[in-house]
Amino acid sequence: MKLFLKTKDFSVSGESFELHWDKDLDMLVTRPQPTNLTPYYESEDYISHTDSKSSFTDRLYQLVKGKNLNYKTQIIENQIHKAKTLLDLGAGTGDFLITAQKSGFKAVGVEPNEKARQLAKEKGIELHQRLEHLSGQKFQVITLWHVLEHLPNLEEQIKSLAGLLKDDGVLVIAVPNFKSFDAKHYKSYWAAYDVPRHLWHFSKKSISKLFAPHKLEVIKMKPMWFDAFYVSMLSEKYRGNRWYLVSAFFVGLWSNLAAIFTKEHSSLIYILKKEK
C-alpha cells in the first residue's frame, strides 16, 4: 500500500495519521490504528453517542438525523417482503430502532458505548453491548449506518454479519465515499476521514469486493444527500473558515450536483442481498 495523504484527528486528540491506498480493494486504510480506540470517542463532540443540542452544529445534526430516519426505514421496506426482523449494529442512542419498531419491525440493536446505551435505555430501548450476544440468531435485515468504517478486524466482522443474515436477507450499509467531490475538495481537512475513529475508507469497488466472498451482492445504491452539506460544514470549520456556513452550502451543493453525473456522493447507502 502506498501513502495517499496525511491528515489528523481534528475533533479530539489532534494527533496525525496517514491514509494508505489499497490498490486491489480501492480503499484507504488509516495508519497507525490505535490498539485502544476508546479515548478517541470520549468527547462531547462525538455527537452520535449523545443527543446534544448545545451548539448550532449539534442542532443541525439532530435535524438532519430526524429527516433521515424515515428515509432509511423506507429504503429497507422497499427491499423486503417477509418477516420484518432487523438488527442495527452501532445503534447509538437508539433513534433508528425506535423508528423501525414503529414501522412494524421486530428490531434489536448493538452499541458498544456505555453512555449511548444508557441514553437509549432512557428511551425504552435495551441495546446489546456486543455482537456475540446475538450468536445463533438470524435476521431478515441488518443495518450499519456509518458504522462499518469504525470496525476493527474488518474481514472477521464481515464474516460475522453474513452469518447473522438469513438467506435472501438484506444488508444495508451507509459509509462515506472518499471519491466524492467534497472529499477531493477538502483533502486532508475532509471531516469524513475522521481518523482514527474511521479505520477504513471505502469506494464502490471495495464494498463489492469485500462482501462478494460471503455471497453478498450489491443490488442497489442510494445517496445520503444531507451528508455533503454537513461534512462540508465540519470541514470548513476544521480549516478555520469563519464563514463556514456559506462556503459549506456551496461546496455541498456542488458535490451533490456533480454526483448526479458521477454517482460519487459524499456518503452512499449500499443495499446488499444474500444469495439463497
**What's the pLDDT tens digit per position in 229-238?**
999 999 999 9
Largest pairwise CA distance in the chain: 54
Grid coordinates given for 86: 432487523
Mean pLDDT of 77-92: 87
Closest alpha carbon to 80 in 166, 173, 207, 163: 166
* Domains of the chain, residue spans: 2-274
- Predicted confidence (pLDDT) per residue in 206-229, tens digit: 999 999 999 999 999 999 999 999
Question: Binning pLDDT at 50, 70 and 90, where does residue 276 land?
Answer: confident
Q: How many CB atoms lie within 10 A of CB 191?
A: 21
Q: Is the peptide bond before 152 cis (omega within 30 degrees of 0)?
A: no
Mean pLDDT of 66-93: 87
- Predicted confidence (pLDDT) per residue in 1-11, tens digit: 899 999 999 99
Q: pTM for the full model?
A: 0.92
Q: Residue 266 in contact with residue 191, Cβ under 8 Å?
A: no
Closest alpha carbon to 196 in 34, 79, 76: 34
Tell me the C-alpha distance between 160 and 185, whole Å.
36
What share of residues in the chain are helix, strand, coil (percent, to 5)? Answer: 45, 25, 30
The predicted structure's pLDDT at residue 53: 62
The predicted structure's pLDDT at residue 148: 98
Grid coordinates given for 48: 452520535
| Residue predicted with more confidence, 80 or 117 | 117
The CATH number of domain 2-274 is 3.40.50.10800: no
Grid coordinates given for 117: 446505551
Separation of first and last alpha carbons in the chain: 35
Q: Residue 129 in contact with residue 100, Cβ under 8 Å?
A: no
Closest alpha carbon to 270 in 215, 226, 205: 205
